[in-house]
Amino acid sequence: MSKTDVFEIFLVATPGLEVPLCAEATEKSFAGTRKVPGGVICRGGWSDVWRANLELRGANKVLVRIGSFPAVHLAQLDKRARKFPWADFLRPDIPVKVEATCRKSRIYHAGAARQRIETAITETLGAQISSESSLRVMLRIEKDLCTFSLDTSGEPLHKRGHKEAVAKAPMRETMAAMFLRECGFDGAEPALDPMCGSGTFVIEAAEIALGLNPGRSRSFAFEQLASFDATGWNAMRSANTRRDTDITFHGSDRNTGAIEASRTNAARAGVDGLIRFQHRAVSDLKAPDGPPGLVIVNPPYGARIGDEKRLRSLYGTLGKTLAQNFRSWRVGILTTTTGLARATRLPLLPPGPVVDHGGTKIRLFRTDPLA
């Protein structure tokens, strides 16, 4: 197998956000995109793998399927794993981590299967096995078919590489980007978050407006693969040019620590010149000068019984302020229940799908431009 091989690439989505990720991958000209539970499948070579990690805002991981064979018992798995062309993908000097899952197969012991693959890699390639390695080889055995994949991302892709200060209950960048997309945001209008926390929504919005690649500040596991071409990768990464925009983005929060964190994060991302952060209560919100845009907010939703009742007044205040002061702006609200969303008394459209936010099920409630 060579660097020009075409692979099946699996883009891991946050459950519930497969549709916008598929739309993003299609927009970015990835070939053969189709939505499946848990992600998006497309096809491409190594340069497409690099580009997916660098450019896609909604993917949590980029996995590459590098080969498969049938096996019905461990001895057969062992024999075929030793014949697999590991040297086409892995380097003998880079440790790897092996993971295995078994489903509906005569090989049912995932631990034993993993050990066979680890032994095959160490004895045929010479690479060490390490549970700490960021380079993962994944074996899935389903209906007696063994499929190998590589995690080409390493750390999850929501870790953009320029956000250190984190506020309470942060929204992951990958989720924030997909919710912005679901609200119709494309970088051509202002965005405002009145409960901005560590600034995730407005920083993502500013990056989109500037055309900045989300992976520009970090490294990836694919840089440790045998197929890696440092010259080609550096050329791809440096080709990203910053667009001009005169749009201003706005974040506010009643917590001064959150505002400080937001400013720090925006500066590290290189977008602080486009964002105004203010220490401000929701009841004091006013629309900024200029054209209307999008208000997007991830308010508290409460984890305990009884919290929702207490939070309704906060949602009511938010809705009243937006209705009075943000005429012609669209609104996107992330929350757990229809009851909380309706407490805003805003003219809500049908809600989006259920999305897993760190174990909490949330949905996007949107409006058309407010009258």
**Domain that residue 88 falls in:** 7-151
pLDDT tens, position by position, 282-320: 999 999 999 999 999 999 987 665 578 889 999 999 999
The pLDDT assigned to 168 comes to 60
pTM (predicted TM-score): 0.95
Q: Which helix (H) or strand (E) holds 63?
A: strand 61-70
The rounded distance, in Å, linking the Cα atoms of 83 and 81 is 5
201 and 306 share one domain: yes
CA-to-CA dists, residue 356 to 16, 175, 177, 360, angstroms: 7, 10, 15, 6
Q: Is 230 part of a structural domain of the chain? A: no
Cα separation, 205 vs 211, in Å, equals 10
Per the DSSP assignment, residues forming a β-bridge with 10 are: 41, 63
**How many domains is the chain partitioned into structurally?**
2
Same domain, 196 and 278: yes
CATH code of 201's domain: 3.40.50.150
Over the stretch 9-19, which tens digit does the pLDDT of each residue have? Answer: 999 999 999 99
Tell whether 126 is covered by a domain: yes
Please report how many Cα atoms fall inside a 13 Å half-sphere around the Cα of residue 190, on the Cβ side: 22
Q: Are residues 43 and 100 in the same domain?
A: yes
Contact 226, 90 (CB under 8 A): yes
One domain, residues 130 and 180: no
Angle at 42 between CA 37 and CA 45, to 5 degrees: 145
pLDDT at site 50: 98
DSSP 13-55: --TT-HHHHHHHHHHTT-EEEEEETTEEEEEE-HHHHHHHHHH
Contacts of 206 (CB under 8 A, 6+ apart): 249, 266, 269, 271, 274, 275
Neighbours of 132 (CB within 10 A): 6
Please say if the pLDDT value at position 1 is more than 50: no
DSSP 96: B
Question: Rounded mean pLDDT of the chain?
Answer: 95
- pLDDT tens, residue by residue, 209-230: 999 999 999 999 999 999 999 9
DSSP category for residue 223: G
Domain identity same for 129 and 179: no
Q: How far apart are CA 54 and CA 239, in angstroms?
A: 11
CA–CA separation, 207 vs 242, rounded Å?
Answer: 9
Q: How far is it, in rounded angstroms, from Cα 53 to Cα 155?
A: 11
